[in-house]
């Protein structure tokens, strides 16, 4: 199930309301099996590790004891479940209650259908409810309060700590309003129910909440809207009343559908293959569940632009390490102004916190799993020139990039900035410890590669800003990854990225045999084999170190020989391998990239329950699929796209609606066997290259692709004069090495 949140929410919405099961894989609340333990209002999607959120739970029950409560005893099995865009419906088997949910941006709307009963239909608000597996930074309820209670409204606040990204505290305010008056009200604290109080307070280890009792003999339907805020209870109530001014559940549900139709409609595809189309839009949908647009809901500071307007504020970057390769580049195409807002938000966080985040949830930065990958997002926003309204101060943005590149965060390095930056600058790589004892996310070898990629993207921004000395400096530093290349290591192929000690020697003892494909030591969520291919910004140099095009091709063939695509050679279930399917482009064999990509799409993705090959990682898996279905793929942190094999007869991407600009890909002679590109035209111009830049399509463009059943003998093929051509005219995509003397 990819840990995807299946419940109702809006695109990039704050509230994601859905039921929780408390099972070990319930990072998004939902699991296929398990009893329902609550219905909470904040969730993430596609993530692993210790869960985040699952807070502010409101749960309907029947026939609850009057004077004592054991909150863990009200769990219920499901009698059925049903999910649509912006809507979910399920049954609480134990109570014969039907629950329906929908949402606006900051409000969850509940509709309960109770059995007919006098004073036994109850709604329990549980402030202490939270998703927690007990891993890493354990998620806990710290304290909270029912601030006020009446027969049709509950107001309060919960304070929580932990979850995957860090131990940081965060507060969530709520305002739960009901369409009818209850007959009874009560607060509860641990196992005690108190009908004489309208407020109560609990601290760490306590269970705390409120109960409303309803008479459902005349009308079995109770509707409740739960406003959420990170600022105050009053703002939570304002959110509830302004976003959902009445009690028309179906109107709110339709508005949610309309909101998703609007965003999904920015990419329109044409195909007779309904499964392909459904898989594509499911993938695209998942890219927009998080991050969350919390503009106006930042509890720590307020920032205004030159026009006095609030600066955009986004949270639940979970994490940029997962999304910078494909999701954020996809946003620059069909969500370009939102991509600018996200970049602006990252820069604003830098101005107020000190670093741009790689991950951020609950108003805290963390964790950095590799590089300072906000650098890649900022660089791409700049290089693609999508900030058409001048929202971003590029001097401040560049300052944020240099902070990442130059200032060691020291003991904060797991949460922001670059861990071990001083060593990286001193040695040209991050040394691995002699005893091989290292934390899971420390990963010195993979961090070295990612810092190199970050530095290259910074160099491109420096060049664009006219900072030539910085351009040369960071371009040269981007070669640091080569310092971990050991040409003497052999395992079916020659040469690998392996750990290196402070004294300059390589850890050749570790790098012997199968450790290169089975042991993740020194590498984050990938093997030495995988990371030895993960240099997308300088594939030309990688080919040279690998022994030339023929040996590199052999290396790639071995990489994709395991058709599970989930092993130590290649793992589509984790992001470090995402770009590897495009590496054949760089040796003039784009068609072999196409063959691998098409096989992965057919065998590892689908519309069934297990239609994602791993955790969806904030939509990263979805964006990988979406790009490849469209037929192009981004080189993250740059303005370059590679041409693959379109799966649709026609794709129209709305780059902008005001003014209207579209990017259309028309595929001729496409069939199940005609998967090979024969020729390409961009705006009616013959296009021999297997790549293009964003500027080639940013003003509006039409790409026409002619398909055939066999690889082309001319298009995408390197001729003898390839190296004598200007870089921009070469068939293969450019690499950093092409520009080392430029």
- CA-nearest of 404, 314, 325 to 359 is 314
Q: Reading across the β-sheet that carries 660-668, which strands appear in turn?
A: 267-270, 650-657, 660-668, 701-708, 676-682, 685-686
Q: Please, which residues bridge with residue 515 across strands?
A: none
Strands, E, within 22-162: which ranges? Answer: 38-40, 57-62, 78-84, 87-92, 97-103, 107-113, 121-126, 140-150, 153-161
DSSP assignment of 336-358 equals HHHHHHHHHHHHHHHHHHSS--S
Mean per-residue pLDDT, 633-639 = 98
What's the mean pLDDT when you consider all of the chain? 96
List the domain boundaries for the chain.
18-263, 266-715+726-739
Which fold, 266-715+726-739? Glycosyl hydrolase family fold (1.20.1610)
**Residue 441 in tokens:** 């996310």
| Rounded Cα gap, residues 445 and 515, in angstroms | 14
Is residue 180 helix, strand or coil?
coil
Q: Which strands sit side by side in the sheet containing 57-62, from one edge to the other?
A: 57-62, 121-126, 208-214, 184-189, 192-194
CA–CA dist 62, 211 (Å, integer): 12
Produce one character per residue of 705-730: b if its CB has 16 or more CB atoms within 10 Å, e if not.
bbbbeebbeebbbbeeeeeeeeeeeb
Report whether pLDDT(165) > 90. Answer: no
Report CA-CA distances (Å) from 231 to 214, 314, 625: 31, 15, 37
Strand partners, 702: 664
372, 358 contact by CB (below 8 A): yes
Whether pLDDT at 65 is above 70: no
pLDDT of 566 above 70: yes
Please write the tens of the pLDDT for every residue from 73-132: 899 999 999 999 999 999 999 999 999 999 999 999 999 999 999 989 999 999 999 999
Question: Alpha-carbon distance 153 to 58, whole Å?
Answer: 12
Q: What is the pLDDT of residues 231-241, one digit of tens each?
A: 999 999 999 99
- What per-residue confidence (pLDDT) applies to 64? 64
Q: What are the backbone angles phi and psi of residue 569, rounded to the nearest 5°?
A: -85, -45
- Using pLDDT thresholds of 50, 70 and 90, give the confidence band for residue 411: very high
What average pLDDT does the segment 474-479 reach? 98
* pLDDT, position 134: 84
Q: Indicate whether 25 pLDDT > 90.
A: no
Cα 597 to chain centroid, rounded: 21
Q: Are 103 and 10 spatial neighbours (Cβ–Cβ below 8 Å)?
A: yes
Q: For residues 363-387, give the mean pLDDT.
A: 97
Tokens representing residue 8 in the block? 């109702």
Confidence of residue 28 (pLDDT cuts 50, 70, 90): very high
**Confidence band (pLDDT; 50, 70, 90) for 164?**
confident
Mean pLDDT, rounded, for 145-156: 98
Residue 352 makes CB contacts below 8 A (sequence gap 6+) with 300, 301, 303
Contact 16, 9 (CB under 8 A): yes
| Residue whose pair of structure tokens reads 């940081």 in the numeric block | 168
**DSSP states of 51-66 as a string?**
-----SEEEEEES--S
pLDDT at residue 23 in the model: 85
pLDDT one-digit tens code per residue, 672-689: 999 999 999 999 999 999
How high is the pLDDT of residue 137? 84
Write out pLDDT tens, residues 517-550. Answer: 999 999 999 999 999 999 999 999 999 999 999 9
DSSP string, 600-653: HHHHH--SSTT-SSS--TTTHHHHHHHHHHHTEEEETTTTEEEE----SSEEEE
CATH number for domain 18-263, candidates 2.70.98.10, 3.90.226.10, 3.30.70.2190, 2.30.30.90: 2.70.98.10
Percent of the chain at pLDDT above 70? 99
Joined tokens for residue 410: 């020291």
Q: Are 350 and 400 in contact (CB under 8 A)?
A: yes
pLDDT in tens, 491-500: 999 999 999 9
Confidence band of 389 (pLDDT split at 50, 70, 90) = very high
What gap in Å lies between CA 12 and CA 365, rounded to an integer? 19
Q: Are 535 and 449 in contact (CB under 8 A)?
A: yes
Q: How confident is the model at residue 567 (pLDDT cuts 50, 70, 90)?
A: very high
* pLDDT tens readout for residues 295-308: 999 999 999 999 99
Using 50, 70 and 90 to split pLDDT, how confident is the model at 564? very high
Task: Copy the structure tokens of residue 235.
Answer: 């703002």
Q: Which pTM was predicted?
A: 0.98
Cα–Cα distance, 582 to 520 (Å, whole number): 23
- Residue 66, pLDDT > 70, answer no
Provide the β-strand partners of residue 84.
Answer: 87
Query: Mean pLDDT over residues 329-349, rounded?
Result: 98
- d(CA 378, CA 342) in angstroms, rounded, equals 9
Q: What is the mean pLDDT of residues 357-371?
A: 95
pLDDT in tens, 182-195: 999 999 999 999 99
Q: Does 67 score more than 80 pLDDT?
A: no
Q: Which tokens is 62 given?
A: 């029947």
| Percent of the chain with pLDDT strictly greater than 90 | 94
């Amino acid at each position: 199930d990819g840990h995807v949140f299946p419940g109702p929410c809006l695109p990039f919405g704050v509230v994601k309301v859905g039921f929780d099961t408390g099972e070990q894989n319930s990072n998004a609340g939902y699991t296929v099996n398990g009893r329902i333990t609550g219905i909470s209002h904040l969730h993430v999607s596609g993530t692993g590790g210790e869960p985040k959120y699952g807070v502010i739970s409101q749960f309907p029950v029947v026939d609850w004891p009057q004077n004592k409560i054991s909150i863990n005893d009200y769990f219920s099995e499901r009698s059925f479940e049903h999910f649509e865009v912006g809507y979910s419906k399920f049954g609480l088997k134990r109570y014969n209650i039907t629950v329906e949910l929908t949402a606006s941006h900051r409000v969850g709307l509940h509709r309960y259908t109770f059995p007919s009963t006098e004073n036994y239909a109850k709604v329990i608000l549980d402030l202490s409810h939270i998703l927690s597996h007990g891993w890493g930074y354990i998620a806990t309820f710290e304290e909270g309060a029912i601030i006020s209670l009446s027969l049709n409204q509950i107001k309060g606040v919960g304070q929580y700590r932990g979850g995957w990204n860090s131990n940081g505290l965060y507060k969530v305010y709520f305002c739960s309003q009901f369409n009818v008056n209850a007959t009874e009200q009560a607060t509860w604290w641990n196992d005690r129910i108190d009908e004489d109080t309208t407020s109560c307070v609990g601290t760490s280890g306590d269970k705390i909440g409120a109960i409303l009792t309803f008479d459902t003999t005349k009308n079995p339907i109770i509707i409740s809207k739960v406003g959420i805020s990170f600022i105050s209870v009053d703002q939570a109530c304002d959110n509830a009343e302004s976003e959902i001014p009445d009690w028309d559940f179906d109107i709110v549900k339709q508005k949610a559908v309309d909101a998703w139709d609007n965003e999904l409609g920015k990419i329109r595809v044409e195909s007779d293959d309904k499964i392909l189309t459904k898989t594509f839009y499911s993938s695209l949908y998942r890219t927009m569940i998080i991050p969350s647009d919390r503009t106006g809901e930042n509890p720590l500071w307020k920032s205004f632009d030159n026009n006095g307007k609030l600066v955009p504020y986004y949270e639940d970057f979970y994490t940029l390490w997962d999304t910078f390769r494909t999701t954020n580049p996809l946003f620059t195409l069909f969500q370009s102004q939102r991509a600018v807002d996200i970049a602006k938000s990252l820069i604003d966080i830098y101005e107020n916190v000190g670093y741009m985040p790689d991950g951020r949830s609950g108003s805290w930065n963390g964790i950095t799993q590799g590089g300072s990958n906000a650098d890649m997002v900022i660089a791409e926003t700049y290089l693609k020139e999508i900030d058409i309204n001048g929202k971003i101060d590029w001097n401040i943005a560049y300052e944020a990039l240099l902070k990442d590149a130059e200032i060691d965060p020291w003991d904060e390095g797991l949460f922001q900035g670059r861990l071990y930056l001083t060593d990286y600058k001193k040695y040209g790589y991050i040394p691995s410890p002699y005893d091989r004892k290292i934390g899971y996310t420390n990963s010195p070898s993979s961090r070295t590669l990612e810092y190199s990629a970050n530095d290259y993207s910074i160099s491109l921004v420096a060049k664009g800003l006219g900072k030539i000395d910085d351009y040369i400096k960071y371009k040269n530093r981007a070669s640091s990854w080569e310092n971990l290349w050991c040409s003497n290591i052999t395992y079916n192929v020659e040469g690998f990225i392996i750990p290196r000690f402070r004294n300059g020697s390589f850890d050749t003892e570790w790098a012997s045999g199968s450790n290169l494909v089975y042991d993740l030591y020194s590498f984050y969520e990938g093997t030495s084999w995988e990371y030895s291919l993960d240099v997308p910004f300088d594939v030309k140099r990688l080919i040279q170190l690998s022994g030339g095009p023929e040996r590199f091709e052999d290396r790639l063939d071995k990489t994709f020989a395991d058709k599970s695509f989930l092993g130590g050679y290649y793992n589509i279930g984790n992001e470090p391998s995402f770009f590897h399917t495009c590496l054949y482009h760089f040796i003039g064999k784009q068609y072999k990239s196409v063959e691998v990509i098409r096989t992965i799409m057919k065998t590892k993705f689908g519309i069934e329950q297990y239609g994602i090959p791993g955790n969806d990682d904030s939509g990263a898996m979805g964006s990988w699929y979406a790009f490849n279905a469209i037929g192009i793929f981004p080189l993250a942190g740059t303005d370059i796209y590679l041409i693959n094999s379109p799966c649709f007869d026609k794709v129209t991407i709305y780059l902008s609606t005001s003014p209207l600009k579209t990017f259309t890909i028309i595929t001729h002679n496409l069939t199940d066997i005609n998967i090979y590109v024969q020729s390409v035209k961009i705006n009616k111009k013959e296009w021999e290259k297997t790549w293009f830049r964003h500027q080639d399509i940013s003003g509006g463009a039409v790409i026409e692709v002619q398909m055939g059943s066999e690889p082309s003998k001319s298009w995408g093929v390197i001729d003898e004069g390839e190296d004598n051509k200007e870089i921009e005219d070469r068939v293969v995509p450019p690499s950093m090495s092409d520009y080392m003397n430029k």
